[in-house]
Amino acid sequence: MNHKNQICLFISVLLLSFGYSQAQNKTANPKNEFRAVWIATVANIDWPIKNTDAVEKQKADFIEILDTYKKLNYNVVIVQIRSTGDAMYPTDLAPWSKYLTGKQGQAPYPFYDPLEWMITETHNRGFEFHAWFNPYRASMDLNTAELSRTHDIIKHPEWMIKYGGKYYYNPALPEVQAHLINVVDEVVSKYDVDAVHFDDYFYPYRIPGESFNDTASYKKYGKGMGLEDWRRDNVNTYLKNTYASIKKLKPWVQFGISPFGVWRNKSVDPKGSDTQAGQTNYDDLYADPMAWMEGNYIDYLLPQLYWSIDHPKASYAKLSKWWSENTNKNTALYIGNGSYKINADSDKRWSDPNEIPNQIDLTRSFNNINGNAFFSAKSFVNKNNAVTQLLKDNQYQYPALAFVVPNSKKEVLDTPNVTNINNQSDSTVVTLGFPTQSKIRYVIVYGSTNKNLINVNDPSQIIDKIAFKETKDSIAVKIPKLYLEKHNNCALTFVDYFGNESQATLLKANNQNLKTNEDR
């Protein structure tokens, strides 16, 4: 005999707290928080572990990184897809990376598109995918014999400047800037990335006794500016045009930069930080985050504060406060943490497992600093378990949603419209009507136990984040039976591509009705 019990379904509207995080009251477990990890590919720092690894091992190792950080309730991965004028994806604009296949220009075998595959696996686990580019570094050494004949060093030697035993793209050349924007545009156009991310390598870090030989370019394009102002203007112009190009293609794709942690020292500028950094963004790298914010061509800043809280020359505490006080309201601010130093640094503060948890707590004490990113991924993959256990038990006990793209707060007009519920042996499939007014990225599943009401502002009630699979008429959301049997009440919301969350549809179910009935 075949019995069909229906889940009792109630639909109600729950008020959500919309908007950008500046207005959010900080709590021990915030509902919205940027929790990211950098996955470095240069020199095989994080992935692939070896450049000779077979494709299946590459895939297994990347999934291990994702699964490790999903268990820690992270929500963003920043994956390096271009490190030295190369690419981790098929393109005519750059050769395949040697860090992927062992030989620059050689495609993976059996062939696959690592970037497309990584994005899919990342979204399937509820993470944002930030595509990390190093725009100006063209090589790690001067050995051109091992370069692909399609590398820009070979094709366009006039674009390059030798410095510190490496090749760099000359930031002053209009043709270089146009080429590097085309590189970004291709990725944004072809791939479903959530953000474009640049790191701290603009003009190279100074090397004593060596000069960056851009004299000819300065004479041609200097326009009467001082050399240092001109270099900063070259960077600013490139970033401004990159931002405009990204937003023209896909307005929801963010543009984020993780600059070196010190803008300027107070000793040379009263507006600078109380630090004694040997090099700074403004004076040495010709990178000026203050100008980027003033010009409104950056979505988020992620300064790299890779020092301990009480470091005598560059204190994490002092720098967090400085960035908090000097970031404008139109730019999201997150902090980069040096997890690679745990138990591996001459500063013995990094031997204390509480250093990173304490840094997160300090970050949360500033209303406009809304999360952290950690360099790099291997720091917590089967390592430093004392720290990860503290994070699991405390700071990252519950999931969190990433933030709305700055200046993109809006109402999501679609709400989950349940059209069918189908009980299966291990899950319940909830069919939703296809959203017609919004571009949806995720379905969020909330759950509460006993007689507690659903509270969509409570991160402890987030039980799943399901990637939206586009179809013409509907979407089927598979909710594991384990989730439903543990929760008396469930609710669903949509999250759009900008990170805005819809109002909620409440699924109220009796546990007994959730049990599958079988033919007898």
Q: Please tell me the predicted confidence (pLDDT) of residue 518.
A: 29
CA angle, 348 as apex, 347 and 350 as ends, to 5°? Answer: 85
- Cβ(80)–Cβ(39) below 8 Å: yes
Q: Please tell me the predicted confidence (pLDDT) of residue 436.
A: 92
What residue type is assigned to position 250 of the chain? K
65 contacts: CB under 8 Å, gap ≥ 6: 37, 39, 46, 47, 77, 377, 381
pLDDT at 405 over 50: yes
Task: State the chain's maximal CA–CA distance in angstroms.
Answer: 89
Q: Please tell me the predicted confidence (pLDDT) of residue 512.
A: 35
Confidence of residue 15 (pLDDT cuts 50, 70, 90): very low
Q: Please tell me the predicted confidence (pLDDT) of residue 476.
A: 87
Residues 211-237: pLDDT tens digits? Answer: 999 999 999 999 999 999 999 999 999
- Cβ(114)–Cβ(88) below 8 Å: yes
Q: For strand 76-82 and strand 34-39, is the pairing parallel, antiparallel, or unpaired?
A: parallel
**Of 508 and 76, which is predicted with more confidence?**
76
Measured distance CA(434)–CA(340) in Å, rounded: 44
> Average pLDDT over the chain, rounded to whole?
92
Q: Give me the mean pLDDT over the 348-352 stretch.
A: 98
Provide the whole-model pTM: 0.94
**Of 337 and 17, which is predicted with more confidence?**
337
Q: Please tell me the predicted confidence (pLDDT) of residue 49.
A: 98
Measured distance CA(82)–CA(396) in Å, rounded: 30
Measured distance CA(415)–CA(13) in Å, rounded: 9
Q: What percent of the chain has pLDDT over 90?
A: 85
- Cβ(101)–Cβ(51) below 8 Å: yes
- Cβ(430)–Cβ(492) below 8 Å: yes
What residue type is assigned to position 188 of the chain? V
**DSSP symbols for 55-98:** HHHHHHHHHHHHHHHHHTT--EEEEEEESSS-BSS--SSSPBPH
pLDDT at 396 over 90: yes
* End-to-end Cα spacing for the chain: 5
148 contacts: CB under 8 Å, gap ≥ 6: 95, 96, 104, 105, 154
Residues 465-518: pLDDT tens digits? Answer: 999 887 777 888 888 887 877 888 899 999 999 999 999 998 855 433 333 222
Confidence of residue 433 (pLDDT cuts 50, 70, 90): very high
Q: Give me the mean pLDDT over the 375-402 stretch.
A: 98
Provide the token pair at 73. Answer: 């309730």
**Of 24 and 346, which is predicted with more confidence?**
346
Pick the range with the lowest mean pLDDT from 96-105, 129-138, 436-445, 470-479: 470-479
Q: Please tell me the predicted confidence (pLDDT) of residue 488.
A: 80
Residues 304-337: pLDDT tens digits? Answer: 999 999 999 999 999 999 999 999 999 999 999 9
Provide the token pair at 157. Answer: 């030697």
Pick the range with the lowest mean pLDDT from 88-102, 290-304, 448-462: 448-462
Q: Give me the mean pLDDT over the 406-420 stretch.
A: 95
- Cβ(475)–Cβ(468) below 8 Å: yes
Confidence of residue 341 (pLDDT cuts 50, 70, 90): very high
3-class secondary structure per residue, 114-128: HHHHHHHHHHHCCCE
Would you tell me the crossing angle of helices 355-364 and 316-326 to the nearest 10 degrees?
A: 20
Confidence of residue 26 (pLDDT cuts 50, 70, 90): low
Q: Which CATH architecture has domain 418-514?
A: Sandwich (2.60)
220 contacts: CB under 8 Å, gap ≥ 6: none
**447-486 burial: b if 16+ Cβ within 10 Å, else e:** bbeeeeebebebbebbbbbbbbeeeeeebebebebebbee
Pick the range with the lowest mean pLDDT from 56-60, 353-357, 363-367, 481-485: 481-485
pLDDT at 338 over 50: yes
Nearest to 379 by CA among 43, 46, 35: 46
pLDDT at 262 over 50: yes
pLDDT at 238 over 80: yes
Superfamily of domain 29-393: Glycosidases (3.20.20.80)
Q: Give me the mean pLDDT over the 342-353 stretch.
A: 98
Determine if the peptide bond prior to 48 is cis (ω within 30°). Answer: yes
Residues 130-184: pLDDT tens digits? Answer: 999 999 999 999 999 999 999 999 999 999 999 999 999 999 999 999 999 999 9
Q: Give me the mean pLDDT over the 453-462 stretch.
A: 94
Q: Please tell me the predicted confidence (pLDDT) of residue 449.
A: 84
- Cβ(360)–Cβ(395) below 8 Å: yes
**How is residue 323 annotated by DSSP?**
H
Helix (H) or strand (E) holding 152: helix 152-155
Domain range annotation of the chain: 29-393, 418-514
Q: Please tell me the predicted confidence (pLDDT) of residue 508.
A: 58
